[in-house]
Amino acid sequence: MRNADRQAIRDLPLFADVDEQRFDELLNAAYVQRIPAHVDLIREGEPADFLYVVIEGSVELFSSSHGRDSSMAIVTPISTFILAATIKDAPFLMSARTVAPSKLLLIPSVNIRAVFEADTRFARAIVTELATCYRGVVKSMKNLKLRTAVERVGNYIIRLQDKSGGADVVELPYGKKILASILGMTPENLSRAFGALQSHGIVVDGPSIEIIDRTALEACCKPNPLIDDPRS
């Protein structure tokens, strides 16, 4: 493993305070895997044998039930996924597949659980991580239940602009098909929402979106920091 990658993982709040020796143990037990795009990593319902860390690329978490599918989230570097299932030694509630060619670190769950039992600082870091994950999903629920499709799309654009340092032109980081599914709508409806928002301060050109009137966009889509602020 490259030192830059190792340091990037070390800098994650989850691992930052772990005892150095135990961090070494985790990494020594782990596997680095380079995976092409569109590869299934794990299937919902299967045991969570590894904690996954996305180093490069991106991973889609999705769920299926009786013929229906829905994307739930995209995990980008440097992030972990399936921490809760790992800690609980429980089956995973979502499947995961690579969206782009990806570099992943797979840390065996037994090692994660061992360090969790042995290192108090790790246990506390896991608390913070899980609390953050929990609040993230609660906010997604609120987004779904309290907003129309157009509002969800508009607020996604606003968040993306904020995340891009306020740039006027932002690029969608993944395809519109997945974005639609994450936002809880069909691709057709996403196209229509983009169309509708062109009267409210944006210009859409494929994966590029220019925000020409942020005020109009916010008036239409009504951002709420208790849903949209990634730090809350």
Note the residues at the interface with its own copies (CB under 8 A): 44-45, 63-66, 68-70, 72, 83-85, 87-88, 90-91, 93-94, 116-117, 120, 123-124, 126-128, 130-135, 137-142, 144-147, 184, 222, 224, 226-227, 232
175 binds, among its own copies, DNA, none (CB under 5 to 8 A by kind): DNA
The residue count of the chain comes to 232
Amino acid at 193: A
For 160-227, what is the HEC assignment?
A: HHHHCCCCCEEECCCCHHHHHHHCCCCHHHHHHHHHHHHHHCEEEECCEEEECCHHHHHHHHCCCHHH
Q: DSSP assignment, residue 47?
A: B
Give the span between the Cα atoms of 44 and 40, in whole angstroms: 11
CB of 155 to DNA, least distance (A): 13
Binding residues for DNA, rule: CB under 7 A, are 148-150, 175-178, 184-192, 194-195, 204, 206-207
In this structure, are strands 40-42 and 95-98 parallel, antiparallel, or unpaired?
antiparallel
Q: Which is nearer to its own copies, 7 or 128 (CB)?
A: 128
Q: Which is nearer to its own copies, 90 or 110 (CB)?
A: 90
104 binds, among its own copies, DNA, none (CB under 5 to 8 A by kind): none
Q: Which is nearer to DNA, 5 or 60 (CB)?
A: 60
